[in-house]
Structure 1
Amino acid sequence: MSAGTKTLLLQFVSFAILFLLARVGLMYFTDLSGIWLPLVSAGIATVFAPQFKVFKTDEGDKICVSWIFLKGAKVLN
């Protein structure tokens, strides 16, 4: 599996988990309904999901993660 594919999967899984958590939390704690519940959940997940990127170096492809709760970027491999 290439680094680009891993990055895409990590990005999707982190967004999906945060989207589901936000949707369930908003469903229980607010009166949002209809189209507003998934729209607000998607906005929350977009803001709080970490961003994964691939950088090509001399040693090979490196996957880095940037998140609002981390200072700077962290290299995963």
Structure 2
Amino acid sequence: MSVSTKTILLQFASFAILFLLCRLALATFTQLSGFWLPAASAVAATILAPQFKVFKTDQGDKICMRWIFLKGVKVLN
């Protein structure tokens, strides 16, 4: 599996987990229904999900993560 494929899967998995958690929390604690529940969950998950990017270096491809809860960029490999 290539590094860019791993990055896409990490991005999707983090968004999906946060989307489901936000949807469950919003359904439990608010009166949102219909279109507004998944729309609000998608916006919240987009803001809260970490971003993964691939950078090409002399040592090979590196996956870097940026998240609003971390200061700076974290190199994963």
- Normalising by the residue count of structure 2, what TM-score does the alignment of the two structures yield? 0.99
Which residue pairs with 1:51 in the alignment? Answer: 51
Give the 3-state SS of the residue equivalent to 2:39 in structure 1.
Answer: helix
Q: 1:29, CA displacement in angstroms?
A: 0.2
Identity in percent:
73
Distance across 1 between alignment mates of 2:74 and 2:24: 30
Which residue pairs with 1:14 in the alignment? Answer: 14
Distance across 2 between alignment mates of 1:24 and 1:65: 26
Give the 3-state SS of the residue equivalent to 2:70 in structure 1.
Answer: coil
**How many aligned positions are there?**
77
Displaced runs of 4 or more, over 6 A: none
Q: 1:56, CA displacement in angstroms?
A: 0.0
Which residue pairs with 1:3 in the alignment? Answer: 3
Which residue pairs with 2:75 in the alignment? Answer: 75
Partner AA of 2:59 in structure 1: E
Q: Does 1:63 align with 2:66?
A: no
Distance across 1 between alignment mates of 2:42 and 2:21: 11
Q: Does 1:36 align with 2:36?
A: yes
Give the 3-state SS of the residue equivalent to 2:33 in structure 1.
Answer: coil
